[in-house]
C-alpha cells in the first residue's frame, strides 16, 4: 500500500512515530509551507509553539523522516492567490522554496490547484511530478486532457470514491494518457457541497481575513446543515470517505492514497487505522473536517458497520431517494456513550 500522509507540527512526536512504525505502508509525506496559501487552514492546531518554533519543528521533523527514507510532496494547492496569482513575485518565492527544500529533503512532487503554478514547476523543475489537487474536482477524461501538458498525476474527484467502477474508469483514462492517479481516502467534506469553492477561496486568504474587521464568520455550511433536525442520520449518504478495512480493495487501481491528517486532533490514529486496515473506534474522528462533536454523546462505531457496506455502496448508483441502505447502516453503527439520545 502506498499511503501519503499529511504532516502537521505538533508539540509531541506521536504522528512522526506512527509514520515511522508503518513505513512499509507509507510512501510519502505531504506538507504545506508557512507563508504560501494552501488548501487547509494556515492557522495550525494549538500546539503551544510560536510561529518560528513551529517552522523549526517542521524542518526538524521532515529531516528526521527524510533520514528514514521517506519522500515528500509539497502542497501549493491554494484555491486563490489573489492579485499575486500570475505574479513574478509569487512564482519566484515558490521557486526559491522548492530549491531550498530540494537541498534538504527528498522532494519528489508538488500538488497544486493552479495550472499556472503547475506550468512553472513543470518548466523549471522537470524532475518533480506535478499533481492536480483534489480541490480541482476532476472526474472526467476531458478534465485530464485539458491539463495533460502540465500535470503528471490526478486526484480522483471526491464524490467518486465509493463507486469503484468510476474510480477504475478514471484511473484507466489517466493511464491511457501516461498519467498517475491518486485518491483522498478520508475527506470529511460533504458530497457536492455548494459552498466548497467559496470556502476554499476564503481559506486561501485566511491570513488576510484575520486582520480585517469582518462582519461575518464563515466556517463552511456543513456543520450547520448536519445540525438541522433529521440530517445527521444522512451522514453516510452525504460522505465520500472510505472505511479503513476497504482501502485495500483499491490497490492496483490507484497509485497512492492520500490521508487527510494536517489539522486532525489525532492524526496518528488515522495513520494507524489506514495502514493496518483495522479500526474499531468512532469513524467520525477519522475525517477532516471532523464532525464527531455534532454527534456526541453518540459515535459511529466502525465495529458495528454492516459487513456488506462496500459491496452495496460501491455499485448502488447513488439514488438515495429510492434506497435507505445508508440510513439503516447508520442506525446499525450508531452507539450512544451516555444516557442522552443520539441525534
- Expressed in angstroms, the distance from the first to the final Cα of the chain is 36
Q: Does domain 3-282 have CATH number 3.20.20?
A: yes
Sequence length of the chain is: 343
pLDDT tens for each residue of the chain, 343 residues long: 899 999 998 888 999 999 999 999 999 999 999 888 775 654 455 556 677 777 888 999 999 999 999 999 999 999 999 999 999 999 999 999 999 999 999 999 999 999 999 999 999 999 999 999 999 999 999 999 999 999 999 999 999 999 999 999 999 999 999 999 999 999 999 999 999 999 999 988 888 888 898 898 888 899 999 999 989 999 999 999 999 999 999 999 999 999 999 989 999 999 999 999 999 999 999 999 999 999 999 999 999 999 999 999 998 888 888 899 999 999 999 999 865 444 4
Are 284 and 238 in contact, with CB atoms under 8 Å apart?
A: no
Question: What span, in angstroms and rounded, lies between the C-alpha atoms of 143 and 271?
Answer: 30
Q: Using alpha carbons only, what angle is made at residue 116 by residues 88 and 218, rounded to the nearest 5 degrees?
A: 95
pTM of the model: 0.92
Partners of residue 30 on adjacent β-strands: 6, 73
Q: What are phi and psi of 31, to 5 degrees?
A: -160, 155
Amino acid at each position: 500500500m502506498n499511503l501519503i500522509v499529511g504532516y502537521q507540527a505538533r508539540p509531541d512526536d506521536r504522528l512522526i512515530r506512527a509514520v515511522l512504525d508503518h513505513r512499509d505502508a507509507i510512501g510519502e509525506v505531504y506538507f504545506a509551507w508557512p507563508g504560501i496559501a494552501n488548501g487547509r487552514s494556515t492557522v495550525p492546531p494549538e500546539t503551544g509553539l510560536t510561529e518560528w518554533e513551529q517552522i523549526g519543528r517542521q524542518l526538524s521533523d521532515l529531516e528526521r523522516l527524510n533520514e528514514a527514507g521517506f519522500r515528500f510532496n509539497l502542497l501549493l494547492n491554494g484555491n486563490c492567490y489573489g492579485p499575486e496569482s500570475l505574479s513574478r513575485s509569487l512564482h519566484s518565492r515558490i521557486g526559491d522554496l522548492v530549491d531550498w527544500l530540494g537541498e534538504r529533503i527528498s522532494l519528489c512532487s508538488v500538488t497544486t490547484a493552479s495550472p499556472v503554478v503547475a506550468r512553472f514547476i513543470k518548466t523549471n523543475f522537470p524532475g518533480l511530478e506535478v499533481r492536480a489537487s483534489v480541490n480541482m474536482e476532476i472526474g472526467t477524461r476531458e478534465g485530464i486532457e485539458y491539463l495533460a501538458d502540465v500535470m503528471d498525476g490526478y486526484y480522483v474527484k471526491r464524490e467518486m470514491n465509493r463507486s469503484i467502477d468510476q474510480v477504475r474508469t478514471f484511473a484507466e483514462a489517466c493511464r491511457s494518457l501516461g498519467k498517475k492517479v491518486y485518491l483522498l481516502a478520508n475527506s470529511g467534506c460533504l458530497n457536492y457541497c455548494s459552498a466548497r469553492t467559496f470556502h476554499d477561496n476564503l481559506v486561501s486568504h485566511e491570513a488576510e481575513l484575520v486582520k480585517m474587521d469582518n462582519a461575518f464568520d464563515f466556517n463552511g455550511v456543513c456543520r450547520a446543515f448536519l445540525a438541522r433536525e433529521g440530517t445527521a442520520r444522512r451522514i453516510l449518504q452525504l460522505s465520500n470517505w472510505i472505511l479503513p478495512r476497504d482501502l485495500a480493495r483499491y490497490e492496483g487501481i490507484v497509485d497512492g492514497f492520500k490521508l487527510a491528517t494536517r489539522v486532525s486532533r489525532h492524526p496518528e490514529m488515522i495513520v494507524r487505522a489506514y495502514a493496518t486496515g483495522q479500526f474499531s473506534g468512532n469513524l467520525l474522528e477519522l475525517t477532516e473536517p471532523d464532525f464527531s462533536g455534532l454527534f456526541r454523546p453518540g459515535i459511529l462505531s466502525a465495529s458495528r458497520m454492516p459487513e456488506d457496506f462496500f459491496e452495496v455502496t460501491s455499485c448502488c448508483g447513488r439514488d438515495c431517494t429510492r434506497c435507505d441502505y445508508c440510513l439503516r447502516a447508520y442506525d446499525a453503527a450508531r452507539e450512544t456513550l451516555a444516557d442522552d439520545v443520539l441525534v
